[in-house]
Amino acid sequence: MGKKLEGIQRMLVIINKLKERQRYVPREELEEYVRLRMEERDATPVDIRTIQRDFKDIEDLFGICIRFDKKRNGYYINEEDSLINEQYERLLLNFDLLNALDKTSNLHTYVLAEHHRPSDTECLPALIKAIKFSHPVAFDYIYVREEGRMRNKKVLPHYLKEDQQRWYLLAYDNNVLKIFNVDCIRNLRIYYEETFKRDMDIDVNDLFKDSYGIWNQPDIPIENIELSYSALDGRFLKSVPLHHSQTIIADNETEFRITLRLRITNDFVMALLARSSSLTVIKPLHLRERVRKVYEKALQRNA
């Protein structure tokens, strides 16, 4: 396993341990926990000195300060100094590298990782650091919808957001807030000699609350949507709602009907098609027509 990957995994193991209900973790307990977790990954054995060096990297990379309380004889996360917020909490809980399976590890013999997990996560730590310390970044960006055309970008990074197992960078490009798929970023460079004032007034949750996934287009109106499904599909949609605005208006043996309020983007239409064997679009009519045309073209291709 590469040393860089080992280091990131070890840091996240430390954070997860210190974020448990136990407020103060004794030195021996932390060392044993990290040793066992890294042993599971066939990683290099570590001692308390290595772990203590990781504390500095954790503070630099994540803004999480780890301290030792002599009276309580344990390490703890200093919440007052920490920059933890909802975005960093989610980042730490879902960080792909924590569960990354190295080719040399025997974890694959009993852990079945998803084949489509994003692979280009190497630049995530660098992007986090650039965001934390307000450094501009530059990179070559692949435009998939333009037949793979690549353009150079220099942007002001503000947030990282995960959606459907992909990471996205929210950054200002020429004073316009844009979204970049991290998978499409190449040759990332950080301008350490430059800084900018980060816009802390951006309400990220509000930015996407009326959209499905990461696609936010203010020019697309927010609409009331009504959908009908079979009772069987309804069970799945109750456990994993399409959108936070989902409201159940009928739930019986013959029908499961819901209403939603959001922008009808391509991503949303694709989500509808993914579970459409029993789908009936009640309203709006233009969405019903859009779904019908997709199936018409599919029938023509597969006739």
Is 40 among the domain residues? Answer: yes
Q: Are residues 200 and 226 in the same domain?
A: no
Is 184 among the domain residues? Answer: yes
3-state SS track over the chain: CCHHHHHHHHHHHHHHHHCCCCCCECHHHHHHHHHHHHHHCCCCCCCHHHHHHHHHHHHHHHCCCEEEECCCCEEEECCCCCCCCHHHHHHHHHCHHHHCCCCCCHHHHCCCCCCCCCCCCCCHHHHHHHHHCCCCEEEEEEEHHHCCEEEEEEEEEEEEEEECCEEEEEEEECCEEEEEEHHHEEEEEECCCCCCCCCCCCCHHHHHCCCCCCCCCCCCCEEEEEEEECHHHHHHHHHCCCCCCCEEEEECCCCEEEEEEEECCHHHHHHHHHCCCCCEEEECHHHHHHHHHHHHHHHHHCC
Q: What is the Cα Rg of the chain in Å?
A: 23
Is 27 among the domain residues? Answer: yes
Q: Are residues 237 and 200 in the same domain?
A: no
What is the distance of C-alpha 188 from the center of its chain? 19
pLDDT given for residue 122 in this prediction: 67
Residue 79's CATH number: 1.10.10
Is 210 among the domain residues? Answer: no
Tell how strand 149-163 and strand 280-283 pair up: unpaired
Domain ranges, residue 154: 124-204
Residue 271's CATH number: 3.30.70
Q: How many domains does the chain have?
A: 3
**42-70 residue pLDDT tens:** 777 888 899 999 998 888 777 788 999 99
**Alpha-carbon gap, residue 137 to 150, rounded angstroms:** 16
Residue 107: which residues within 8 A CB-CB, separation 6 or more?
40, 41, 42, 101
**70-106 residue pLDDT tens:** 999 999 988 654 445 444 555 555 454 454 444 445 5
pLDDT given for residue 106 in this prediction: 52
Is 215 among the domain residues? Answer: no
Is 209 among the domain residues? Answer: no
- Spell out, as residue ranges, where the chain has pLDDT lower than 70: 1-2, 4-5, 21, 41, 79-122
Is 39 among the domain residues? Answer: yes
pLDDT given for residue 78 in this prediction: 80
Given 20, 52, 83, the domain boundary residue is 83
Is 110 among the domain residues? Answer: no
Q: Are residues 74 and 144 in the same domain?
A: no
pLDDT given for residue 186 in this prediction: 94
Q: Bridge-partner residues for 181, per DSSP?
A: 168
Q: Are residues 192 and 257 in the same domain?
A: no
Structure tokens given for 183: 């998978």
Given 150, 173, 204, the domain boundary residue is 204
Residue 185's CATH number: 2.30.30
Q: Are residues 288 and 249 in the same domain?
A: yes
What pTM, to 2 d.p., does this model score? 0.62
Given 204, 234, 261, the domain boundary residue is 204
